[in-house]
Structure 1
Amino acid sequence: MNARVEDDLVALVRERLTREPGDLTPQRVAAALRAEGRPVGDATVLLVHEALSRDVLGAGPLEPLLRQPLVTDVLVNGPHQVFIDRGQGLEQTDVRFRDDDAVRRLAQRLAARGGRRLDDASPWVDLRLADGTRFHAVLAPLARPGTSLSLRVPRSQVFTLEQLVDTGAVTAGGARLLTRIVERRLAFLVTGGTGSGKTTLLNTLLSEVDPRERLVLVEDASELRPDHPHVVALEARPPNLEGQGAVTVCQLVRQALRMRPDRLVVGEVRGPEVVDLLAALNTGHEGGSGTLHANSAADVPARIESLALAAGLGREATHSQLSSAINVVIHLARTPAGHRFLAEVAVPMRDEAGIVRVLTAARFTACGESSTGSGADLLARALEPETS
């Protein structure tokens, strides 16, 4: 039976089975085929049953892609364009949906599994599935060329610094520098664009923390899985269908401060929680960290200022807090071919006008070359061992 015939049969059987609720079994598929006057051979029944199973279980036709070991993202642009990212840029796959209705059904089913509504009145959704996959969808016609799905797959493996060196993401010298930053308990932000590897590197650095220390993680959607014996993770919660029950990252940061953290970690700083994080790192909580979207290390102060201003913290207060809260900025970049790498290690410094500037201490290229910048002496002093 060719794929076109199978699609037609699947559509007919699906429509009939939806009118007669019950478990999806080969017997019910065979009965539906007979009722439609279609062939009921064993091979036909099994093919239609398998296709329907993919449609109602897991992530449907995307399930095999999500299970590939190197895949970090699966992106669906309507029924005929499905892409994956295996760390070397986007690749188009041969996976196709029958039509946009099939994409929409899958999106609505995944949203329902997360307890969220997805329809014309609420045409987008952002949630985490039970296996940790981050799922986002926008329905057509808002999305073009059709319903758009974005799935971010959590890493089952946490890379060590040695492995990142082997893959070329970090140079040997960069790895030594990052290790010293963690050992000296400097507060740091991992910055970069979307897909630059911020979560991957933060996972690695948190895994390097002394096992006697207690890590308290706060995230909007749980992605961090450091290889560390003492981790407590708090995850924000969106409102339910009635618009109630939301728990924000800001609220969780305040709770985390009462949980005796040796290191407070905010998985992604992108809203008013920046104010709580800056305040927390100014109250004796050394070694705190987080990630932040930014185009470059030099853009970090402006990015934090804009987030803080939106949360009601004035410019002067923001820069005052920032100058004493964050010791190091670790910036990542990504080449057009998809190679992620450590691009810069920088140090914030407050100037005479009270504005924080970021000075480059070490710069790295995608080819593994390195150089120092004007902030090298400041970083060296910050990394000096404490004297009793």
Structure 2
Amino acid sequence: MKSLFRAIGTAAVGLALATTAMAEDPIKIALVHGMSGSSFEVFSKQTHTGFEMGLEYATGGTMEIKGRKIEIIKKDTQFKPDVARAVLAEAYGDDEVLIAVGGTSSGVTKGMLPIAEEYERILLVEPAVADSLTGPDANRYIFKTSRNSSMDMQAQALALQPDENLHVATLAEDYAFGRDGIEAFKSALDGSGATIVTEEYVPQGTTDFTAAAERMFNALKDKEGRKVILIYVAGGGDAPGKIQAMDPSRYDIEISMGGHILPVLPTYKRFPGMEGAVYYYYEAYDNEINNWLVEEHMKRFETPPDFFTAGGMASALAIAKALETAETIDTEGLIAAMEGMTWDTPKGPMTFRPEDHQALQSMLHFKIRVDEGVDWAIPEKVRIIEADEMDIPLGRMN
């Protein structure tokens, strides 16, 4: 009998030790972004900086949640869909990460969606934008903290104050980001009386916009009322500058576009007074989280945080809150915690819509101000466009 009690006691101690060891295992999170092979690398680097600062803020510098260390594993997609799928599978399988965050390009990220479903692990999309990432091809393991094309374009439409006197020609790149964006813009104009007169799509990497610009000029020049070329191009090539150099003003045509990262904003000095919408600008939001981010980023990097930095922080804060509030730290526990969850970010509260897991959030209506003492054009706040002002279409129905 004593030997039986001893055996039971030994087993209980072993179970307790195993349980303690499991509790002390790190929570592994993979950052799956393109770190080589594209000019968009800067987006990934900003996202990583913001993510790490977000976890630091959320944990008070301990990098621990519920007594467990957070371990970050970085994977390079090289901006290639096949590589992205492989490294995400590696993260879920070999590295045993609980959550992955990625990716940078919408087209590449779309190819990652089925991998999350195959491994039954969460993929938190940041900073890729396309609406389709929470659309019919998504699945219950996909959550998205980044804004989507509908938010970009509904906010852009609100900034243009559309009515029956507005005539617009659009220019976008011919892939998921560009086409989703223009579809969202057209939807945002429905019922306003404004007219889309033509749509131009160019390959990624285009540097000569002459032909597209001439077609847009011809479609707009004889219209009565306000005439605008909307540019929705994420890559290089300087489409706004090259089209501006063709003097659209001779036809009373103006250029409109969303905001951009700080390294690109010096080029906006050519467009004083232009109004548009953007995800974030560091001076536009006054709250505890943003104030900390701006102050710490200035201390560490001698430059203010950019909008992908803010996005990376928002994704980290979402994960931190989910881990803190989930009844169980596993995929099902996190999904239950995240559906409908509201959390604070540098740009105010965000909420994961339960139906499709898109984070609903505010946008910034800006007007470009040029200050010779500032290296870049300043997207000065006109107002914050709140989430409930935008009618964001549902993607995947849960």
Per the TM superposition, whether the score is higher than 0.5 is no
TM-score range, shorter chain: 0.3 to 0.5
Q: Which has the higher contact order (CA 8 A, sep 6+)?
A: 2
TM, length-normalised to structure 2: 0.34
Structure whose CA Rg is larger: 1
